[in-house]
Amino acid sequence: MADAPTLPTIPPAAAQRRAPRRLSPATATVLLAVAALVAIALFMTVDLKGNLGYVLPRRGVRVGAMVLVAVAVGISTLMFQTVTANRILTPSIMGFDALYVLIQTSLVFTVGASTVNTAPPALKFVAEVALMVVFSGLLYRWLFTGGARSLHLMLLVGIVLGTLFRGFSGLLQRLMEPSEFLILQDLFFASFNQVDPALLAVAAAIVGAIAVAVWRMRHTLDVLALGRDAAVNLGVNHRRAVTMVLVMCSVLVAVSTALVGPVTFFGLLVVSLGYQLCRSFSHAWLLPITILLGVVALVGGQLVLEQVFGFATALSIIIEFTGGLLFLYLLLKGSLK
């Protein structure tokens, strides 16, 4: 009897906070999946002419890269926000991808482009990711565990760190031999149009493995979302879980940056939209919805830009613009409360 009144009161209270017209998580997932498939199908087939054996694999590689980036950015941002218990911090805003570019640059700067280039790509990638994990781990553990946890301070420190990393990479690139810089240039100005097919396979394997691992720990993530004290109380090894999440985030950011270069606000955009769309706070729904949104946004956005407006590489600029506005909105909304 004592339990009976408490159970039914939860759904109305929850429904009150959200608009009643929202889709159920399952419907949203199915609709998004359909939209993603349509976008991919259109992207592969629209304006298809010429040598199919040449065009289709090229388009396939681009779609593959976009899907991988959507998965990597979606998962990493969602986990990062869960662990840090807020909706505005993302790995990119905290300078993760700038750090990756800096590590790549420093690697070429110290050991030379020829060594970097002759090493097998998989080994090189693993080495870069390992460095990335170590440095970001040190940096962000220090930041997250250090005394005052003012959100604004962390954001500002993250943004300035990103500026510092970018500035330092820029400086190192200037100090390089022009021939070495040329090799790096391919990496930095990577866009959704130029993706290395060899890298794609490695990236797919890594992202796939992490996606499986994250899916298996989705319930742990639900608990982590309750905050540190609650999570510890419910028997989660908080420190270990957070470290794992940060490591996985570092790897995912490294993969996505290696594939298409830094896209600062993409994660913020899709995860914010995902929370708006998903009526549930369960990661079992949030994860697929965020990923599918990412696929729709990237593939659909690229399709619309290319076919309707005739711009090829402007998608990342548009993401920066809308993402920046969203960030400002979240920032001002949060502080005006």
Partner 1 sequence: MAAPPVERPAAADPSAAAPGRSAARPTREALLLVLAGLGILALAVASMFVGVSDVSLPNLLAGDETAWQVFWVSRIPRTLAVILAGTAVAVAGLIMQLMARNRFVEPSTVGTVESATLGILVVTVAAPAAPLLAKMGVASVFALLGTALFLAVLQRLPARNTLLVPLVGMMLGGVIAAVTTFFAYRYDLLQTLNNWMVGDFSGVLRGRYELLWIVAALTVAGYVAADRFTVAGMGADFTTNLGLNYKAIMRLGLTIVALISAVVVTTVGAVPFLGLVVPNMVSLAFGDNLRRAVPWTAVFGAGFVLVCDIIGRTIRYPYEVPVGMVMSVLGAAVFLVLLLRGRTIRG
Residues that bind partner 1 (CB under 8 A): 146-148, 150, 152-153, 155-157, 159-161, 163-164, 166-168, 170-171, 174-175, 311, 313-314, 317-318, 320-321, 324-325, 327-328, 331-332, 335-336
Q: Which is nearer to partner 1, 74 or 158 (CB)?
A: 158
Per the CB < 8 A criterion, the answer to whether 69 and 256 are in contact is yes
Give min distance, CB of 263 to partner 1, in A: 12
- Please give the torsion angle defined by the CA atoms of residues 272, 278, 279 and 280, in that order, rounded to the nearest 10 degrees: -100
For 263, left (φ over 0), alpha (ψ -120 to 50), or beta? beta
Give min distance, CB of 151 to partner 1, in A: 9
Interhelix angle 151-175/121-145, nearest 10 degrees: 140
Q: Which is nearer to partner 1, 34 or 156 (CB)?
A: 156
Q: Which is nearer to partner 1, 168 or 281 (CB)?
A: 168
Give min distance, CB of 253 to partner 1, in A: 19
Joined together, the tokens standing for residue 279 give 């009526």
Q: What is the CA radius of gyration of the chain?
A: 21
Give min distance, CB of 95 to partner 1, in A: 10
With 0-12 CB in 10 A as exposed, 13-18 as middle and 19+ as buried, what is 240?
A: exposed
Q: Which is nearer to partner 1, 36 or 139 (CB)?
A: 139
Give min distance, CB of 106 to partner 1, in A: 13
Q: Which is nearer to partner 1, 15 or 312 (CB)?
A: 312
Q: Which is nearer to partner 1, 208 or 324 (CB)?
A: 324
Give min distance, CB of 101 to partner 1, in A: 14
Q: Is the dihedral of CA 215, 38, 43, 41 positive or negative?
A: positive
Q: Spell out the alpha helix ranges (H) of 176-237.
A: 178-188, 197-216, 218-224, 228-233
Q: Is the dihedral of CA 115, 121, 126, 130 positive or negative?
A: positive
Give min distance, CB of 246 to partner 1, in A: 20
H/E run at residue 160: helix 151-175
Q: Which is nearer to partner 1, 285 or 327 (CB)?
A: 327
